[in-house]
Amino acid sequence: MASFLTLVSFYLFLFSTWLTTIFGIFSEQSPVSTYAKRIEKMTRLHFYFHDILDGTKPTAIRIVPPPNKSVGQFGTTYMIDDPLTEGPEKTSKLVGRAQGMYALASQHDSGLLMVINFAFLEGMYNGSALTILGRNPVLDMVREMPIVGGSGVFRFARGYALASTVSLSPKTGDAVVEYNVSVLHF
């Protein structure tokens, strides 16, 4: 019985590969084996994001100013390469970099559009990244943003990030934000 099932599975695999090849070279599909299901892991990460707009070495720079007839700062866009650290102090151990951009995307409140990769540099996550794409209402005590993907250890990742502002300088715009990330991945 087992050899019959193996033979049937082999022929289904060959037939499905043949069908996908004859109908287009640009894509290929493989049947999913029910024997090789992977178990997803839940990983929780805790780190601090340092957004530095002022000084001699800013980590966030404005690349698009607001249009002339803009409401407030609506449309302003920043490119970032912010340090991620174990603790809230700038001198705390560097665990990664937040690289990407954010823009003021709301005319009615302080809502940012975040397009950021958390690129990790430490331990088993070295060389891996998580991607955030979502809304960040920066004046809320706790903000939730989606994790939409990842690479390396975090391939096929999905989850969420909770952000809370630890400190914000009204004069310079510099901020330290605490992140608690929960992510499912293989």
Query: Per-domain residue ranges for the chain?
Result: 40-185
**40-185: CATH topology:** AOC barrel-like (2.40.480)
pLDDT at 69: 72
pLDDT at 156: 92
CA–CA distance, 40 with 157 (Å, rounded to integer): 9
131-141 pLDDT, tens per residue? 999 999 999 99
**DSSP 8-state symbol, 66:** P
Instruction: Select the more confidently predicted residue: 26 or 101.
Output: 101
32-54 pLDDT, tens per residue? 554 556 788 999 999 999 999 99
Signed CA dihedral, 138, 142, 145, 149: sign only:
positive
**DSSP 8-state symbol, 23:** T
Based on its alpha-carbon atoms, the radius of gyration of the chain, rounded to whole angstroms, reads: 22
**pTM of the model as a whole:** 0.80
